[in-house]
Amino acid sequence: MIKPLFGSWRKMKKSQIANAEDILRANERWCMNACGRFLKGGSPVWLLGGKNGLPSALVIHSKQALLPVLCGQGAVPPPHFLRSVFGGNVNLYSLQGRKDDVLVMEKALEEMGLYASEEKNYDIMCLDRPPLSCRSAAPLNLVVRKPVPQDMDALVALHASYEKEEVLPAGAEFRPDVSRLNIERIFAEEQMFVAEIDGRLVGKINTNALGFTRYQIGGVYVYPDYRGIGIAGRMTFEFVEGLVAQGRGISLFVKKNNIAARRVYQRIGFEITGDYRIDYFL
């Protein structure tokens, strides 16, 4: 392994906040989750020392997740700070970010004896202009709107199906109570649209990160029985149209094998700009 020429991981000081922000802004299109957690505050940020005392990379440690932003470095020191955080037993759930960064951090974690149990690979897709219209390809009785509190039970069911199908790694336990808390938080804190047909909620989409100049969207889901008839395209178009009108770019990541979803995004105007990866440690 190529060793870094200098530096070690140090917890960010208040005097280094601007340095961390510079790193995140330069990589914002590809590290929206890291940007969002940095801006919300409360998540420890660890900086890798570089030339002239300026940091050359960072890792955000949010609960049981690591989000590296390594700025093209091919090797980094192992994040031994995890052992002090967790009292010797590292309780790590996920490692996520741009694929190249995750692969570098994988090797560093393996030096500590930590190996991922599952990896998921995604395309990073970005949109920086008004979306291309797809209004004609959808059922006439489709209604796309903001959810209201009376929709919560239907949203809970939608979100549970989404988590089971799209989010949970193999072997992970589905927790209905945690899933409900997740969608309640999204309803309260994020922007969201739902798709309704004949009074039934059949799809949803929401933001899941707010960066310096961009939104990240996620949670895009349509019940299987309602797929292939244009619901996801209409719902995504109307949602993204409103976000772009706020003067922000849009990022998202989609599974490599989800060809149908990728085509929907491309028809709206999204372009593939890189590779994203999530490693799970169960």
Domain termination residue (choose one: 82, 115, 148): 115
Please say whether the beta carbons of 109 and 144 come within 8 A. Answer: no
> 98 and 138 share a domain?
no
pLDDT computed for residue 2 by the predictor: 41
User: Which domain range does residue 259 map to?
Assistant: 127-276
Domain termination residue (choose one: 93, 115, 137): 115
pLDDT computed for residue 87 by the predictor: 66
> 252 and 145 share a domain?
yes
Q: Is residue 4 part of a domain?
A: no
| pLDDT less than 70: residues of the chain | 1-6, 86-88, 134-136
| Domain count along the chain | 2
Q: Is residue 235 part of a domain?
A: yes
Neighbours of 83 (CB within 10 A): 13
Angle between helices 259-268 and 231-244 (to 10 degrees): 40
* Angstrom distances, CA of residue 243 to CA of 193, 251, 268: 11, 11, 13
**Predicted TM-score (pTM) of this structure:** 0.92
pLDDT computed for residue 84 by the predictor: 78
> 201 and 259 share a domain?
yes
pLDDT computed for residue 3 by the predictor: 46
> 84 and 132 share a domain?
no
> 168 and 255 share a domain?
yes
CATH of the domain at 223: 3.40.630.30
Q: Is residue 1 part of a domain?
A: no
